[in-house]
Structures are given as structure tokens and as C-alpha cells.
Chain A
Amino acid sequence: PRPSSRPRILLKAPTLAEMEEMNISEEEESP
């Protein structure tokens, strides 16, 4: 179990549209 005193680190998230852009290079690579 996780020690309750230690705060979790907030992971900043891109928006849905930004995520799609991040994926473009990956899609281009795939056949």
C-alpha cells in the first residue's frame, strides 16, 4: 500500500486534438 502522506504527481495532459497531432508521425510510419 502507498504511504498516504506522499502526494501524487499531477501529470499534465494534452487535449484530445493535441493528442491526435502527437500521433501523426507514428501513423505515417505504419504501413
Chain B
Amino acid sequence: HPVNIPRREKDFQGMLEYKKEDELKLVKNLILELKPRGVAVNLIPGLPAYILFMCLRHADYVNDDQKVRTLLTSTINSIKKILKKRGDDFETVSFWLANTCRFLHCLKQYSGDEAFMKHNTQRQNEHCLSNFDLAEYRQVISDLAIQIYQQLIKCMENILQPMIVSGMLEHETIQGVSGVKPTGLRKRTSSIADEGTYTLDSILRQLSAFHSTMCQHGTDPELIKQVVKQQFYIIGAVTLNNLLLRKDMCSWSKGMQIRYNVSQLEEWLRDKGLMTCGAKETLEPLIQAAQLLQVKKKTDEDAEAICSMCLALTTAQIVKVLNLYTPVNEFEERVSVAFIRTIQTRLRDRCESPQLLMDTKMIYPVTFPFSPSSLALETIQIPGSLNLAFLTRV
């Protein structure tokens, strides 16, 4: 029996040797059967990506193009397979989005292409691929990352969607202002339904849960920003669409409640250091609709002020809100037909779509800015819990 003498880290070259017949076992244990909520919780972020890349480096080192190809194909297909199986689980999708991006960054960082080597240490430069140019595979993996991103957005939307109308429009947290119900309108929710009602806090808690999961998985900060922007877009679009379809949501006090809710969402962004990710801007149509509910709507000057304020709303949306506007007490009046005509005349020359409702399925194009890692491959150790004892550190 060979004596197992522990080697010093500096003796390792940051590669993992494996036999061809172990490739299926590798993707099975590392991708198909890895539970993000179990073993993976204690791993360093992106570890599966680093392990796969270190295996790839060895296949490249021994100049075996077939081994390189089959490892990449098995990796990609296994990630697709696990997402097909557990694509409705946010943690699984987030985990594989983070790892797919890390794998893509590794392929760039160690490609040997100078554009990607600027931040590398000398040792990292020594770890660049020796024999193969994997630029085409990088494109395939980037396509895969886009697919996973879209799946993540769908998954997140399914969780958020049922909370939005209730938390952003129906639930009232500022009782002092909105205590008076619009006359002649019944509450839509029964007292039984109230118990299960989502509040703004439910939404904020859910956003924090998404955020902390993505951080735990080592998702690139730039990618988190894009996810958050998309989340805010969905919240804003679903809220505005419901406001545009419900008379009971078009009152001065609802305007107040919406503005308060928006300020809480902004506070959440500030708390997470995400004020510059473009998320707040996606709420602009909703913010303007809330302002429209609160401004005076009587004179020509009012009409002018509304037209210069509501630039993120279409004419159809402005007119709809004015038509639906319902006074909450005897001191207020409905918006006159003449006032709405004035607004329509003023906005006649605007070049825009006649669109009333926002497209809640729209997804902003995603990008994966290159994000090299300072982690030294030769220091990576594989925890026993991953069942990868058949890999040899080289």
C-alpha cells in the first residue's frame, strides 16, 4: 500500500485528476444529487464550479480533447437536467445560476486570453489552460446561464405574484389616513380571507429571503442587481395593472398608501446597498399613478401639471386613472369629463403606444459581467460530504 503523505499546498497545481469512467459519478454526486439546502450550505460559494473547472484543467493538461468535450457536455446536460427536475425551487435555481456563472468566469479567467488575466496573480496565470481554446464552449455556457436566469425570474415571479396586489394595494397600514372607505364600495376581502392576507411586510420578507439566498450562493453582485431590478419591475407592473382595473383602488387615500409602500421598498433597497441598480426607476409609472390620485384635478393649471408630471404613464393610463378616480368624502368631487378632455387634448401629440396595461412578463436582457476570483485553485480542498474521494488533487 502506498503511504499517504500529506502534501503541502504549494505543491499542488490546482487540478483534479479523474478516470474517464468516473465522469458520470462526478456529475451525479456533484450536480444531480447535490442538495443546495443540505450539504451545499457549508461549502465555499461556487465550490462545485471550481471543482468542475479543476477537473477540466486536468483533462486539458493531459491533452485529451475528448475528455474535455465529454466533461463539458455532461456538466451542461446535468445542470439542465437538475433544473428541469427542480426548476420551481428557488434555492436550486439560484445555486446553479451562481455556479454556472462562476464556471463561466473560470473559463475566462484561466483561458490564457490577456483581456481576462489582468487581475490574476502570477500563480493564477500559471494555471491557465494549456492546450485548448474553449471560447465556443464559453458561449454555450453563457447561453445556459441566460436560460437559468430566466427560470430564476419565473420562479421568483410565481412566489411574489400572489403577494403583490394584497401587499401593495389592498392591505392598509396607515389607518389614520385611509380609515374612510370610498363611498358605495365594499371591501373585496372577507374576514376569513384576511387571516391569510399578504402585507407589505410579507413582500419585504420575501425579497430579503431571495437576496440572502443569492448572497449565500455567491451570486455576483452585478447579477443580484439585475434580479432585484426585475423583481421591482414585476411588483410595479402588477400593482399598476390592478390599480388600472379597480375603481376601489383609485382614491386619494390609496395614493397615500401606495406612496408609503413605495418608500418602504426604497428603504429596503437602501438597506441592501442597491439604490443604484435601477430598481427604483422601474416603479416610476406606479409612483406617478399614486401622485395622480393625490393632485388636484380641476383647473387648466392642474391639467398642465399632470401632463408634465406623468411622463412614465401612457395617455390611456392617465385617462383611465382619472375616470376611475373615486372621492373618499363629501369634500372631494369626481373628475369632470371636461377636465379629462383637456388632458386628452394636451397629450394628443405624444408619440406612444395606446397600451393600457403593463407587460408583466417582460424580462430585461441579462448580462454576466466578468468577475474574476482571487481564490487560489491549489488551496481548494474537497469536503468528504461531497462523496468525491475518487478525485485526486494534483
Contact = CB atoms under 8 A, between A and B. Distances in A.
A1 interface: yes
Contacts of B136: 10-13
A22 B66 CA distance: 14
A19 B76 contact: yes
B9 interface: no
A7 B111 CA distance: 12
A11 B132 contact: yes
A13 to B, nearest CB: 4
B132 A15 contact: no
Interface string B61-73: 0000100110011
Interface string B112-155: 10000000000001101111111111011001100100000000
B211 interface: no
Given A1-B126, A20-B80, A22-B73, A15 B140 contact: yes
Interface in A1-31: 1-2, 7-16, 19-20, 22-23
Nearest to A8: B133
Contacts of B379: none
Contacts of B130: 2, 8
Contact of B73 (A8, A12, A23): A23
Nearest to A30: B24
Nearest to A10: B133
A1 B135 CA distance: 20
B143 A10 contact: no
A8 B140 contact: no
B77 interface: yes
Chain B binding surface, main DSSP class: helix
A14 B112 CA distance: 22
Given A13-B136, A13-B139, A13-B140, A8 B131 contact: yes
A5 to B, nearest CB: 12
B76 A16 contact: yes
B101 to A, nearest CB: 16
B145 to A, nearest CB: 11
B128 A2 contact: yes
B144 A16 contact: yes
A16 B147 contact: yes
Nearest to B135: A10
B112 A2 contact: yes
Contact of A13 (B74, B126, B137): B137
A2 B133 CA distance: 13
Interface string B169-196: 0000000000000000000000000000
A7 B129 CA distance: 11
Contacts of B131: 8-9
Q: Which 8 A-B pairs have the closest CB atoms?
A: A13-B136, A8-B133, A2-B130, A10-B133, A23-B77, A13-B137, A1-B126, A13-B140
13 contacts: A8-B112, A9-B65, A9-B133, A10-B136, A11-B69, A11-B134, A12-B136, A13-B140, A14-B73, A15-B143, A16-B147, A19-B140, A20-B77
Given A9-B65, A10-B136, A19-B77, 7 more contacts: A10-B135, A12-B136, A13-B134, A13-B140, A19-B76, A19-B140, A23-B73
Interface of B: 65, 68-69, 72-74, 76-77, 80, 112, 125-126, 128-137, 139-140, 143-144, 147
